[in-house]
Amino acid sequence: ILQDFKGALTATDQLSLLFQPRMDLRTGEIGSAEALLRWDHPVLGPISPVEFIPVIEASSFARQLTDWVVDEALSNLASWGAHGLHFKLSINLSAANLDEQDFFERIMSKLSNYMVRPDQIELELTETVMMKETEGAFGLLDKLKSAGFQLAIDDFGTGYSSIAYLQKLPADVVKIDRSF
């Protein structure tokens, strides 16, 4: 997986994003969508994100993967906006992103390039990632939130944190794990 991923990043037919719409049950309208990464390997066929994402996030390709996903997601969001479709798009981040000194500047630059506002983006982090109690991680999350991004904890209940711990996190949305 790791050996073939570098080629997948530059190929035009292997990595793709699917967009899962989220419907407001009160209005019946699509208010947001979540970007979901998929990899169609030329030999192995479709590889589950559960199999490849942890491997990539633990490698030197984590930064490149995030950049690819953010660029692709923002490109689609900008295109939809140009056609009159306006909604919030949710993008998953990895723990490695919280350790990148230039992450905030990179994502703000990408938003500017695609003419997308921070309030159009929800950044999803898993409960485990949000529990990284480093000054840098909380500082980055606070900076992102102050810039207008919505922060969400994905799959709450799959880790070891308690409901009381939620008060410490700078998140706007908590998504409960279905098996919780």
pLDDT (0 to 100) of residue 180 = 41
Cα distance between residue 120 and residue 117, in whole Å: 6
Residue ranges in the chain whose pLDDT is less than 50: 156-158, 162-165, 173-180
At 38, which helix (H) or strand (E)? Answer: strand 30-41
| Sign of the torsion formed by the C-alpha atoms of 16, 123, 83 and 115 | negative
Write phi, then psi, for 169 (nearest 5 degrees): -90, 140
pLDDT (0 to 100) of residue 177 = 45
